[in-house]
């Protein structure tokens, strides 16, 4: 199974990363509760054009949480990694990883050559905001909640149509993730309303906002609105995909990144 845990390297910022390929650097950032292996279906399709690093977010996989409690703390860890490289980088983030990627590009436009925001949130409805905040407030750092409600939000309400291998991998990760790291990241994600409009308008590099047609929480409308604000923004909606698009539709994700970042097969 492609989601099997793979060896990691330590990179600046106190982060752990899976690294393959050769070319300009491309950093992949997963979402809350996941780990670098969530990109396992995408990485081989990018490794001929990029030096790909799938990084464990702080408090996940092999990256210790440290003092990360605000989004800026997470971003600063990735800044350390980016600044250690001797060239501009491409960055792709999924879900909360998209928030980190966009903030990184906004703060350091001279170091980021292109950005992909996958299944990103932007201006949740009041009901959606209250629901996600209630889930964050209910997290207990000493008691692990059932993974099944989360899997339903990620893959859809009907388990018979789930990608079984992807869902089982996510279940395993949710059942083993560091509880403190998970809770810290989820609270940040729950109380964030998406990227600042002015920050989006000031992004001068290519940016793609991609989501699934069946993602109820990171909707196509969110991606289209963000793309309309970014000067070189583009929206892409993957038909039939839900929130775990990088795992269930890796080909569509890889092709979108290659196109957005100026690489053609």
Q: Which residues are the active-site residues?
A: 95, 119, 243
Phi, psi of 92 (to 5 degrees): -130, 135
Of residues 149, 26, 5, 35, the one with CA closest to residue 96: 35
Radius of gyration from C-alpha coordinates of the chain: 17
- Sorted by sequence, the CB contacts under 8 Å of residue 115 that are 6+ apart come out as 90, 91, 92, 93, 101, 102, 104, 105, 203, 205, 206, 207, 208
């Amino acid at each position: 199974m492609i989601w099997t845990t793979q060896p990691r390297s330590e990179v600046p910022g106190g982060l752990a990363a899976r690294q393959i390929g050769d070319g300009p650097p491309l950093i992949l950032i997963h979402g809350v509760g996941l780990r670098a292996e969530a990109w396992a279906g995408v990485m081989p399709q990018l490794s001929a054009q990029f030096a790909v690093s799938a990084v464990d977010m702080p408090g996940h996989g092999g990256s210790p949480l440290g003092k990360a409690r605000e989004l800026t703390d997470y971003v600063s860890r990735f800044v350390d990694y980016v600044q250690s490289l001797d060239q501009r980088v491409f960055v792709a983030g999924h879900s909360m990883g998209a928030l980190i990627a966009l903030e990184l590009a906004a703060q350091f436009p001279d170091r980021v050559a292109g950005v992909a925001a996958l299944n990103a949130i932007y201006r949740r409805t009041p009901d959606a905001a209250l629901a996600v905040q209630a889930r964050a407030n209910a997290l207990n750092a000493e008691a692990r909640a059932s993974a099944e409600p989360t899997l339903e939000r990620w893959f859809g309400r009907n388990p018979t149509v789930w990608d079984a291998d992807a869902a089982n991998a996510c279940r395993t990760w949710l059942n083993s993730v560091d509880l403190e790291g998970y809770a810290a990241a989820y609270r940040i994600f729950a109380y964030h309303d998406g990227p600042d409009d002015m920050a989006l308008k000031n992004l001068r590099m290519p940016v793609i906002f991609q989501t699934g047609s069946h993602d109820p929480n990171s909707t196509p409308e969110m991606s289209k609105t963000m793309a309309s604000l970014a000067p070189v923004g583009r929206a892409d909606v993957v038909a039939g995909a839900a929130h775990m698009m990088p795992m269930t539709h890796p080909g569509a994700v890889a092709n979108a990144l290659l196109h957005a970042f100026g690489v053609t097969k």
